[in-house]
Every structure is written in C-alpha cells, then in structure tokens.
Amino acid sequence: MSDPRPLILALYEQASVGCGGAPGLWTHPADDRVGVNSLDRWRDVALTVQQAGLHALFLADVLGLYDVYEGSVDAAVREAVEAPANDPFGYVPALAEVARDLAFVVTASTTYEHPFSLSRRFGTLDHLTGGRIGWNVVTSYLESAARNFGLDGQLKHADRYGRAEEFLDVVYQLLEGSWADDAVVADKASATWARTGSVRPIDHVGTHFRVAGPSLTSPSRQRTPVLFQAGWSPRGREFGARHGEVVLLPKSDPHEIRAGLDDIRSRAAALGREAEDVRALALARIVVAPTRAAAQEKLADLQSAYRLQAQLVSYSGDSGIDISRYADDEPLSTVTNGLTSYVPKAGPGSPPLTAGDVRRRFANVDRGSDLFFVGTPGEVAVAMGEHAATAGLDGYMINPLTSPGTLADVAELLVPELVDRGLFTQGVKTGSLRSRVRLDGADRLPDSFPGSRFRRPTPSRS
C-alpha cells in the first residue's frame, strides 16, 4: 500500500456570530465570535490558520436571515443563527493583508450576483492577493434571500442550476477569454499599456444574461478563482463534475461519500477532465485534547453551551419546515427545496420523520450523523486518515465548534500529529491557491477543464 497523500485542510468560517455547525456555542465563555464586526478576532484567526499550514480560510455565506422558525427572524437573531450575515468580501482583502500567504475561499451566489460584477471582484482580488483566491459557487437556498432580491420565492432547483451554468460560462468568457495572456505590456516609451487587438468583447447573449465585455480586469495569476462547489443531487453532481475543482461533500459515511464521489469523478471524466482534477473535501467537526478523558471533558463542556433551540432554528431555515409548529409525535411535512442535507425521512423506505425524531437527533452537540471526530490527537489523526482513504477524500474543511478553541486545538495538537504520520505537509503554504490544491501545482485551469474552451489563441503580435 502506498503512502497516503497529505490531506488538504481548510478552516470553515462565516462572518456571523453563530454558525450552522456550532449552534449556540458562541455563548461558551471562551468563545469570541460576538466580536464578528471587528477585525481583531479575525486577524488572530487568519494568522493562526496560516501558521498552522492550512490550505485556506473558507468563508460561508447566506443572503437572508433565518425566518422559518416561528415565522420571524426573532429566534434567529436572539440565538445568532447565521446572524448577522456580514459580507465576506469585506473581510478577505483585510485578512489577506494581515496574513500574506493565506488563501481564501469566498462564497458567492450565482442566483443573486451578476457575472460581470462578480468576475471583476474576483479578478481584482486575485490580482491583489497574488492568486490566493477561491470561489465557493452556490445557488443559494433560503426563501428569505429570494425575497431580498425581488422574488416571491426561490427559483426552481433546475432554474437555479440553469442560471448557474450560464453564469459560469460568462465568467470564463470574461476571465479566461477576453484578454490575451500577453495583452499588457505597460511600455511607457511607446505609451502602450495593452496591445491593440489583445482585448476583445465577449458579446454573450444567453437565456439569463447579456454581457458585452471585455473584462475590466487584466489577466491575474489564476485568471478564474479556484472553483469550490457543494452539491449532492444529480444536478448538483453534474454541475460539480463540470465546474468543481474542489467539491464539498455534505455527508459523513465514508462509503456513501465514496459512491457519490465516484459518480462525480466519472461524470467529470465523461466531460474530458482528469478524474484526479476533482479534489474533494468533507466538512468535519473535531474535538481533540491531549488525553481521551480530556477530550470527553471538552465535549461535555461544549455540550453545556450547546443550544437545541438554535439548532432547531437552523434546521427550520435549512429545510423550510417550521418545526416549532409540530408536536413530538407529528410527522414533518415534505418540503422540496433542492436541499439534500435535511429530508423529512431518515432514508428511502423509512417512515416520515417526526418532530420528536429531529429533536432527539439534535439533542447533543455531536448531532448524531455528522462527521465528528473526538479523541486524542493520535486517535483523531488515525480516524481522519482512515476516513479519507475509505471515502476517497482529499481532505477536510474544519467547522469550528468554539472560536478560537477548535482552531487552537487543531493548530497545537492535531496538525503536528498529522504531520508526524505523513498525513499533512508541515509549514506555511505559499503560491496560488490552485497550485496548493492541484496535483500538478499549476496556477491556471488545465486545458481539459470545460471552461477552458472559452480561451482564445493569443493573437499574433501587431
């Protein structure tokens, strides 16, 4: 058996006080997330992530408050469930300046952004950070977000993906296709900044967008930011197979992940991509301490700050089901909103879930089926290595329980153990984000990537 490939690790964060993976844990005495609006806490996070050698800081996002539970935002803002929801793009340039080797993955929605604006934003960030930028492509899932952008409710699942496909094609045309590699010469003597004929409109006319172009930004180190994507439905997998450079898998069972990932990689290969060009991460929560007893104590301490109420607000928002209206013995109604994380059945053929099932499942901070590693550094390292190998995963996004608690533990206890076992590469990661996650270390998308078809041959010099 060959040596394991070192894992890719990122920290999952969000510009909110309370995040989905840690319901209520902002109330823990040692947690500092109430400082969301100040960079003070974020500087420490960024520097620690960089110093620990993690590959990136990932910023999740939502575009509406959680208002399904009890039919208002009150519970969500009281419990700080994904609230507030500050703009992640406000943080990234500042933190990239603080931690000058750290890479960032920023969530942005193809449903509520415009591809011309967003490609400029990413092109600019890619320049300013020297290529340390990834984009978590989402189609968004909250009804409340739809109502903030002029819709009565969400676009249908298929329409969201149809728009997303065209959105990406516009981004490729702008960032990969509208400026030649050698367009910018910046020659003062001949007063030539960019060469004639090297910058051309895209004149895109599609179903959702009409965009003339060219891009307002010149080619950056990566051109297109590294594309992250999460999707488990057949449509989501097809999208990931086409556009995902790093896919995020919302599951814990390694065999289930392996099956889904095989499907995504097969679809990618059918599109002409190298299967290995699709890297895959799962979202993991980790409790690690020097001894097994200390880990259990830490878990109990976290449990003391855990709030089922916050979790139920989160569940209601994610699923669209207002669980506050159901008694424990009532089965939950079926809601179809394209999500796969929460379904009102435990599985195919199972009886409908009752509200009591959900409340019991979420009674504790480990939330039953989540990917949750608890133990000594050695135990967690072994478990992660085995899980990744079985699942075919390339690594994990670590979803912190408390902040700075989880990150500090990962940096001090887990990373050294992973390094010792050959499961992680020691030291600050440098270079473009794409070079960190691709096996060939390239800065740019490979020619086999579907979006690369929008590249143009470089015109002959005039």
Residue pair 313/69 in contact by the 8 Å Cβ criterion: yes
| Cβ distance to its own copies smaller for residue 71 or 290 | 71
**Measured from the CB of residue 371, what is the shortest distance to its own copies in angstroms?**
26
| Cβ distance to its own copies smaller for residue 217 or 376 | 217
Number of residues near its own copies (by CB under 8 A)? 83
| Cβ distance to its own copies smaller for residue 5 or 120 | 120
**Measured from the CB of residue 305, what is the shortest distance to its own copies in angstroms?**
8
Expressed in angstroms, the distance from the first to the final Cα of the chain is 55
The closest alpha carbon to 204, from 236, 177, 179, 239, belongs to: 177
What is the identity of the amino acid at 148? N
Residue 39 has which token pair? Answer: 């960079």
Q: Which of 5, 41, 120, 359 binds its own copies (CB under 8 A)?
A: 120
Is residue 460 near its own copies by the rule CB under 8 A? no
Is residue 153 near its own copies by the rule CB under 8 A? no
Rg (CA), the chain: 22
Residue 94 has which token pair? Answer: 């500042």
Q: How far is CA 370 from the centre of its chain?
A: 17
- Cβ-proximal residues to 412 (8 Å cutoff; 6+ apart), any chain: none
| Site mask for its own copies (CB under 8 A), range 273-312, x = bound | ----------------------------------x-xx--
Q: Which of 58, 66, 69, 89 binds its own copies (CB under 8 A)?
A: 89
Residues 239-268 contacting its own copies, CB under 8 A: none
Residue 343 has which token pair? Answer: 């379904």
Residues 94-113 contacting its own copies, CB under 8 A: 94, 96-98, 112-113
**Measured from the CB of residue 27, what is the shortest distance to its own copies in angstroms?**
4
| Cβ distance to its own copies smaller for residue 130 or 240 | 130
Is residue 86 near its own copies by the rule CB under 8 A? yes
- CA angle 70/74/75 to nearest 5° reads 65
**Measured from the CB of residue 158, what is the shortest distance to its own copies in angstroms?**
22
The percent of the chain in helix, strand and coil, each rounded to the nearest 5, is 40, 15, 45
Q: Which of 12, 58, 66, 91 binds its own copies (CB under 8 A)?
A: 91
Residue 348 has which token pair? Answer: 């195919």
Is residue 441 near its own copies by the rule CB under 8 A? no
Task: Quote the DSSP letter at residue 345.
Answer: B
Residues belonging to the chain: 462
Query: Of 85-93, 243-251, 334-342, 385-393, which segment contacts its own copies by CB under 8 A?
Result: 85-93
Q: Which of 5, 157, 195, 421 binds its own copies (CB under 8 A)?
A: 195
Query: Of 208-216, 359-367, 400-408, 410-418, which segment contacts its own copies by CB under 8 A?
Result: 208-216
Identify the helix (H) or strand (E) that includes residue 160: helix 157-172
The closest alpha carbon to 314, from 22, 63, 11, belongs to: 22
Q: Which of 8, 10, 57, 92 binds its own copies (CB under 8 A)?
A: 92
Q: Which of 78, 156, 255, 453 binds its own copies (CB under 8 A)?
A: 78
Residue pair 414/377 in contact by the 8 Å Cβ criterion: yes
Query: Of 211-219, 250-258, 378-386, 394-402, which segment contacts its own copies by CB under 8 A?
Result: 211-219
Residue pair 245/434 in contact by the 8 Å Cβ criterion: yes
Residue pair 87/112 in contact by the 8 Å Cβ criterion: no
| C-alpha–C-alpha distance, residues 260 and 244, integer Å | 14
Is residue 421 exposed (0-12), middle (13-18) or buried (19+ Cβ within 10 Å)?
Answer: middle
| C-alpha–C-alpha distance, residues 458 and 219, integer Å | 13
Query: Of 187-195, 251-259, 372-380, 429-437, which segment contacts its own copies by CB under 8 A?
Result: 187-195
Q: Which of 186, 329, 349, 460 binds its own copies (CB under 8 A)?
A: 186
Residues 8-37 contacting its own copies, CB under 8 A: 15, 17-18, 24, 26-29, 31, 34, 37
Is residue 65 near its own copies by the rule CB under 8 A? yes
Is residue 46 near its own copies by the rule CB under 8 A? no
Task: Quote the DSSP letter at residue 18.
Answer: B
Task: Quote the DSSP letter at residue 62.
Answer: -
Helix segments in 306-420, DSSP class H: 308-319, 355-361, 377-391, 405-409, 415-420
**Helices 115-128/88-98 angle, 10° precision:** 10
Is residue 71 near its own copies by the rule CB under 8 A? no
| Cβ distance to its own copies smaller for residue 205 or 327 | 205
| Cβ distance to its own copies smaller for residue 150 or 457 | 150
Query: Of 159-167, 216-224, 316-324, 383-391, which segment contacts its own copies by CB under 8 A?
Result: 216-224
Is residue 181 near its own copies by the rule CB under 8 A? no
Is residue 155 near its own copies by the rule CB under 8 A? no
